């Protein structure tokens, strides 16, 4: 689904199976943010194709974090020549506890090698300048991606529509999650693009969502 020039959203809507929302950023370095589960990639690929996007042309896969429902499908794109990038903390976390974590969900951790690490600051991909924010709390190396030109914020499992990411997995930290959400809430956002659930469009709606989370959820983190 096209949101804006070079910005596409592939929401996951099933009530019976978990997977993440995926986002495609066009331009000189066609980029996929969060590939989702491996067995759902063929579905994602055909949705992209129906929007005129060649999945084999993806040059970079960014993972907001390395939980299986966001990360497992990366391999299909890296096998086709895409580079893969995550935060260094997430790489460390995955190598330390990833095997156990994936087995919790009945899966084997995929082989992976980050081509480069995402660090807080700007990431320039052709004409697109993205800002990477380190937003730990749901996982130690969670990142959020802010595209200032589009006022689009991709949050992974940090912020959802009327909710936040779980804090009961290994590597979670509620205090850090609150700090991360505070940081993101200061950005000027028209499109809030979370890792699960509905996207939020409209500056006022985004502000209201951050206010709701701070009032209704922060006390429980």
Contacts with Zn ion by CB under 5 A lie at 67, 157
Q: Return the ∠ at Cα 183 (arms to 116 and 168), rounded to 5°.
A: 75
Of 41 and 66, which CB lies nearer to Zn ion in the complex structure? 66
Of 150 and 196, which CB lies nearer to Zn ion in the complex structure? 196
Retrieve residue 8's tokens: 């596409």
Of 6 and 34, which CB lies nearer to Zn ion in the complex structure? 34
**Least distance between Zn ion and beta carbon 18 (Å):** 10
**What sections of 113-153 are H helices per DSSP?**
none
**Least distance between Zn ion and beta carbon 114 (Å):** 18
**Least distance between Zn ion and beta carbon 153 (Å):** 17
- Is 124 in a helix, a strand, or coil? strand
**Least distance between Zn ion and beta carbon 19 (Å):** 11
Q: Determine the Cα–Cα distance for residues 95 and 98; give it in Å rounded to an integer.
A: 6
Which residues fall within 8 angstroms of residue 168, CB to CB, at 6 or more apart? Answer: none
Which residues fall within 8 angstroms of residue 134, CB to CB, at 6 or more apart? Answer: 87, 89, 119, 120, 141, 142, 143, 180
Of 128 and 139, which CB lies nearer to Zn ion in the complex structure? 139
């Amino acid at each position: 689904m096209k949101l804006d020039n070079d910005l596409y959203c592939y929401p996951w809507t099933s009530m019976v199976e978990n997977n993440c929302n995926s986002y495609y950023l066009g331009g000189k370095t066609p980029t996929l943010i969060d590939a989702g589960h491996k067995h759902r990639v063929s579905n994602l690929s055909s949705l992209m194709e129906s929007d005129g996007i060649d999945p084999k042309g993806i040059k970079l896969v960014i993972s907001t974090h390395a939980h299986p429902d966001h990360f497992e499908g990366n391999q299909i794109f890296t096998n086709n020549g895409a580079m893969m990038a995550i935060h260094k903390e997430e790489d460390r976390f995955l190598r330390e506890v990833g095997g156990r974590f994936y087995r919790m969900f009945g899966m084997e951790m995929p082989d992976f090698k980050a081509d480069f690490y995402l660090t807080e600051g700007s990431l320039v991909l052709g004409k697109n300048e993205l800002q990477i924010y380190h937003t730990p709390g749901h996982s130690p190396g969670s990142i959020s991606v802010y595209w200032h030109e589009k006022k689009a914020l991709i949050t992974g499992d940090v912020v959802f529509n009327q909710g936040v990411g779980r804090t009961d997995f290994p590597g979670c930290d509620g205090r850090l999650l609150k700090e991360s959400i505070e940081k993101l809430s200061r950005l000027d956002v028209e499109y809030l693009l979370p890792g699960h659930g509905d996207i939020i469009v409209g500056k006022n709606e985004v502000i209201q969502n951050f206010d709701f989370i701070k009032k209704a959820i922060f006390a429980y983190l």
